[in-house]
């Protein structure tokens, strides 16, 4: 089965809030591309809200649903991270981190109350976000002799990949990316041109 090469995420940082019986749940949602970014965002929030009792979060990366984590940060098991992750998935989002900071209001909410609070805070921060569709792109470095420049540029014009960098000398180089489902057609055409060398860089 071929994985989809498009997904929904958020365009930029979003904020939300939910209040229940004196407790305040402050939510932040971030677009992310790797786990290092996740650690950085959480570290910044823990420093900013150092006096909060809990910093609960959930995140998901990729289009296959296999990269994710939910963290209750001291709340009863399954009452915080799981409902946050549940809203990420029910809204069909990925490459997203949601962190919810809780300030305790003096009244215990119970298991069902906590689940509802973290769910509602997640819904609010997602509703306040701008949802965008992005594609999964393969990045390549193309090297070729100057003499076949016209042939290479014709393929690029016909297939219309994203060109990121180009260097035209006796031996030319172009860094480009293409939506994953369209990569095969582009590479097949380029491989037919003499002197072209294609190196895969990464998938984003």
Q: Which long-range contacts (CB under 8 A, 24 or more apart) does 40-48 make?
A: 41/97, 41/99, 42/97, 42/99, 45/99, 45/101
Distance CA(2)–CA(144), nearest Å, equals 31
* β-strand partners of 182: none
Question: Which of 197, 182, 201, 203 shows the shortest CA–CA distance to 140?
Answer: 201
Q: Would you place residue 135 in the very low, low, confident or very high pLDDT band (cuts 50, 70, 90)?
A: very high
- pLDDT, tens digit, 9 for 90 and up, residues 150-204: 999 999 999 999 999 999 988 999 999 999 999 999 999 999 999 999 999 988 8
Q: Which residue has the higher pLDDT, 105 or 72?
A: 72
| Domains with residue ranges and CATH for the chain | 6-133 (3.30.230.30), 136-203 (3.30.70.100)
Residue 65: per-residue pLDDT: 86
- Biggest CA–CA distance in the chain, Å, is 76
- Please tell me whether residue 108 adopts helix, strand or coil conformation: coil
| Contacts of residue 67, Cβ cutoff 8 Å, sequence gap at least 6 | 60, 61
Model confidence, pTM: 0.83
CA 84, 58, 128, 45 dihedral sign is positive
């Amino acid at each position: 089965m071929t994985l989809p090469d498009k997904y929904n995420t958020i365009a930029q940082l979003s904020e939300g809030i939910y209040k229940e019986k004196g407790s305040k749940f402050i939510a932040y949602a971030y677009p992310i591309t790797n786990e290092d970014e996740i650690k950085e965002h959480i570290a910044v929030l823990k420093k900013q809200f150092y006096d909060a009792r809990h910093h609960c979060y959930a995140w998901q990366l990729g289009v296959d649903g296999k990269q994710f984590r939910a963290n209750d940060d001291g709340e009863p098991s399954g009452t915080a991270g799981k409902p946050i992750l549940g809203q990420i998935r029910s809204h069909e989002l990925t490459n997203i981190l949601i962190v919810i900071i809780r300030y305790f209001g003096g009244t215990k909410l119970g298991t069902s109350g906590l689940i509802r609070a973290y769910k509602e805070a997640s819904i609010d921060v997602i509703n306040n976000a701008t949802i965008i569709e992005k594609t999964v792109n393969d990045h390549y470095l193309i090297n070729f002799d100057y003499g076949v420049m016209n042939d290479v540029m014709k393929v690029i014009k016909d297939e219309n990949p994203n060109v990121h960098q180009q260097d035209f000398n006796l031996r030319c180089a172009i860094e480009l990316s293409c939506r994953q489902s369209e990569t095969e057609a582009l590479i097949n055409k380029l491989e037919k041109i003499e002197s072209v060398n294609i190196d895969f860089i990464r998938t984003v």
